[in-house]
Structure 1
């Protein structure tokens, strides 16, 4: 594995959960038997509906693979579980994965989601112009952090005069409504939660030049020991994703059955995202290069993350 490139000052100081999970990494990860269930870690919001619907509809079993689907508060915690060898496959956004790439042998397999509308900039009540922002709430090392940087560039804000308040996603609406922060850039359902209490959506990630993606990422051990099982997982998620896109009511019921997320919530946010399973493209890599550069420039990583060394382009045939 290449030398460490994550800045302890930047990323480790703001992600205590990852530090705890990395304690188990002293010994090499042992490949699990191909017959054992594939442990899948995902966040608990509707962007992971492909996994929830696949579980609810029985698609994993129909594809001949046994899985243990585990939900976490967000993609970051799911990736921490992958780092800690508590799951074999996890899904999260690009930056969330990149900042962990030196802590475990992980292999991104495919894109399972993309959007330019799902991640939104929210302003506190009474603030109308993004140029008036003085304090941002951010989820460090995530697309929240990345989009905040793009917003600063887009509006020509003085980065040296801005205050950044690190937070977990669920706390952002409360911080905003208390006036502790002026704005946050984050994914649903947190913008909708804030809007329901009087906040305002000012723009989406697409407005500042970013289309977000989520990757299905396996451990190197699982890819080596059971590539057929991983292919089956992706086929099942693709079938479920087609239902999300073509029959949202049916999909929302499936999401509720697995997660208890209200049908109305899933229906409301599903129009802002595309769930699928597809291979990585040249255009993807151009976008990912921008994220890697942002992480390096802001000292979240020590230098550019060599993410291309680990991408399994061509694995999913679809």
Structure 2
């Protein structure tokens, strides 16, 4: 089992048709932010954007579209997230859309946070993932993982400071970074909704329309609507 964002996972479905998404455990339109170089006064001045394949590239594309800018008129430069704030500061690129802490790191370098993805109608989610072959014989294990995630989400929302300390102990991430993340991300375990599916289909179209995948990803097969309520007590 694993966790990954909806946008990145949908991009992997063509190569991994056995992937199955069981539930959502985090959701946010505030955690990813648009960051502009200091000399870029308006989105219309953007000529190059740094992106990470998957969620970042989708978010950058939708940002440009929201401003009436054709994505094809802007060059996308693929880079590692940790490199992107410095590349923008140097003037190698004009903007980026990334998750924290990279917007905050950019602000420390004098870059400008323009808006969040939610400001132009884009949210991201994290899915709990498995494969259909593994899940067939391990539903009880998956249900226990779902229950543990639900408990962790409740504790995170109720006591962000404790969650931050646990994260620092386990992963050496500064507590302030985690506390801020909890403010911007909604942690909760839930089933998929019809509205979710509309967003996923839009993402699937992004991959096929841009030619990144030869065939449109089969979101309906991958997303297991009702799995949580059918297999656990979490949503009851």
* 1:116 paired residue number: 29
Q: How many pairs are equivalent?
A: 229
Q: Deviations over 1:230-256 (max 9, x none)?
A: 110111111011111111011111111
Contact 1:279 1:316 in 2 (8 A): yes
Alignment partner, residue 174 of structure 1: 86
SS in 1 for 2:181: helix
Q: CA deviation at 1:286?
A: 0.9
Structure 2 residue aligned with 1:129: 42
1:297 alignment partner in structure 2? 209
Deviations 1:141-178 (A, max 9, x none): x1111111111211112434311101122221121111
Please, which of 212, 221, 235 is the counterpart of residue 133 of structure 2?
221
CA contact (8 A) 2:85 2:102 kept: yes
Q: Which residue of 1 is the match for residue 9 of structure 2?
A: 97
TM-score (norm 1): 0.70
3-state SS in 2 of match to 1:111: strand
Q: Is the 8 A contact 1:147 1:208 kept in 2?
A: no
| Among 192, 200, 203, the residue aligned to 1:288 | 200
Match of 1:188 among 100, 108, 116: 100
Residues 5 and 125 in structure 2, CA contact (< 8 A), matched pair in contact too: yes
Larger mean CA deviation between 285-294 and 216-225 belongs to 216-225
* SS of equivalent to 2:228: coil
Query: With structure 2 as the length reference, what TM-score do the two structures score?
Result: 0.93
- Provide the residue aligned with 1:252 in structure 2: 164
1:106 aligns with 2:19: yes
Q: Which has the higher contact order (CA 8 A, sep 6+)?
A: 2
Does 2:52 match 1:139?
yes
In the alignment, is the contact (CA less than 8 A) between 1:130 and 1:202 conserved in 2? no
- What SS does structure 1 have at the residue aligned with 2:12? coil
Give the CA deviation at 1:257: 1.2
Give structure 2 stretches of 5+ with no counterpart: none
Deviation at 1:292, TM superposition (A): 0.8
Deviation at 1:128, TM superposition (A): 2.7
Matches within 5 A, 1:42-121: 89-104=1-16, 105-121=18-34
